[in-house]
Structure 1
Amino acid sequence: MTSVTTTCRDLAELLPAAQTACRLLFQECYKAGISNIFITETYRSQERQNYLYAQGRTRPGQIVTWTLQSNHKSRLAWDIAVGPPQSLYDVATLGKVGAIARKLGITWGGDWVGNIDRPHFEVKSNWTPPKGYKLEGQVVVPSNSKMQVQLIVEDKPKEENALTNTTWNPESPAMETAAEAFLAQAIQEGVIQASHLKDLQNKHMTTDRLLGLYITIQQRRNNN
């Protein structure tokens, strides 16, 4: 069990509808030229919500939440922040993200009356992408300010897509171990999220996605 002081930033901890909504939001932000945003929290337990609510009330510090009930604990909400060169919660950037969220049917905390929460986004459990919107490729959703949003779309012949969209099967224990070690190192470096390694271990990783991750990791390492 994680500590109440620990923030969960793993997109895989959200319900499927929220995962898709979040990825679609980051995709559309990327297409709009907003690539310096990142996840600061996804799932939040009731114990952590109680802990945060106590801050500024029965525990020292400034008030950070006004409710004991949150869609974070329902795995349907996520918070974001803004990376350099803007400030962490740059109002202009969050406003642009909020406008995109509205088009996608995603609730933005910046639209709330009274208790405005600009970094907060959430959906209902039955949310589906609006007409005209879909995930167009592998969306890299950053979990820290060192990363940038990316959309990896590979334009390949249908015959090749039929091959690469299948689940990756190295048929070699040594190669599988090497791939796991490669992703684990990238997670430790903060380049990718832990959910990618989980998908690899659970046999949910496709060949084209693994290739895209490899390219992304190498690019990040070169830039650093």
Structure 2
Amino acid sequence: MSVEATIRDIAELLPTAQTACKLLFQECYKAGIRNVFITETYRSQERQNYLYAQGRTRSGAIVTWTLSSKHKSRLAWDIAVGPPNTLYDASILNKVGAIARKLNITWGGDWAGSIDRVHFEINSTWKMPSGYKLEGNIVVPTSSTVPVQFDPKEEVPMSQIWNPGSPAMQTAAEAFIAQAVQEGIIQASHLTDLQNKQMTTDRLLGLYITIDQRRNVTK
């Protein structure tokens, strides 16, 4: 894929980030904010390098302050605002940011010195705050022409959060698990099950959390 192209599909995020993103959009919908949409989810290192060069070694305004972003880790997403508001309407983004804080989602608008109101991210150990849940089917739009859609009557099966049908996600997950196996953090049987598409959402999420915690212990 070209470094100029953006990926907007939340299925390219890790399962826990998909849950956090859906919860944020659900709570926005309930608060009456229904004209926000995703502009980017996963970002390769090559694209991150390309964006970082803008305003530095390539013409254009600076759009990122780092070569290392949680977009690369599939734990971040950017949004924008649709009509009748302007694309980066600060009043709407501030409202979304306030909701994100309640959900323990990091909002770029809170960053000192490098405010990024369109950016939201989580850690791999993020857990849904007490008192919240996905209350139905939430459709997260990737276009300004489509409003946020929420059907509280429809339950959301956990199997929808991890999408093994996504080649990019499958490749990334395999690489992550394979590295953990090589480090001796987890057993090789986990990688085999993932490759054979016998990995449930809950189990994969648990592995990510376990690996992250064990790596932090050894730092």
Separation in 1 of the partners of 2:131 and 2:63? 37
> What does residue 93 of structure 2 align with?
94
* SS of alignment partner, residue 151 of structure 1: strand
Structure 1 residue 128, shift from structure 2 partner: 1.0
TM-score normalised by length of structure 2: 0.71
> What does residue 33 of structure 1 align with?
32
Separation in 2 of the partners of 1:92 and 1:30? 16
> What does residue 133 of structure 2 align with?
134
> What does residue 18 of structure 2 align with?
19
Structure 1 residue 150, shift from structure 2 partner: 1.2
Separation in 1 of the partners of 2:125 and 2:149? 26
1:17-57 per-position Cα deviation (integer Å, ceiling 9, x unaligned): 10000000000000000000000000000000000000111
Separation in 2 of the partners of 1:126 and 1:65? 25
**Cα RMSD for the two superposed structures:** 2.0
Q: Which runs of 4+ in 1 moved over 2 A?
A: none
> What does residue 124 of structure 1 align with?
123
Separation in 2 of the partners of 1:16 and 1:45? 18
* SS of alignment partner, residue 153 of structure 2: coil
Structure 2 runs not aligned, ≥5 long: 167-196, 198-219
Structure 1 runs not aligned, ≥5 long: 156-160, 168-194, 203-224
> Counterparts of 1:50-69 in structure 2 under 5 Å?
50-69=49-68
Separation in 2 of the partners of 1:113 and 1:58? 25
Structure 1 residue 153, shift from structure 2 partner: 2.1
Separation in 2 of the partners of 1:149 and 1:96? 15
Separation in 2 of the partners of 1:145 and 1:86? 10
Code of the aligned partner of 2:140 = V
Aligned residue pairs: how many?
162
1:47-72 per-position Cα deviation (integer Å, ceiling 9, x unaligned): 00000000111111111111111000
Structure 1 residue 141, shift from structure 2 partner: 0.2
Identity, in percent, stands at: 70
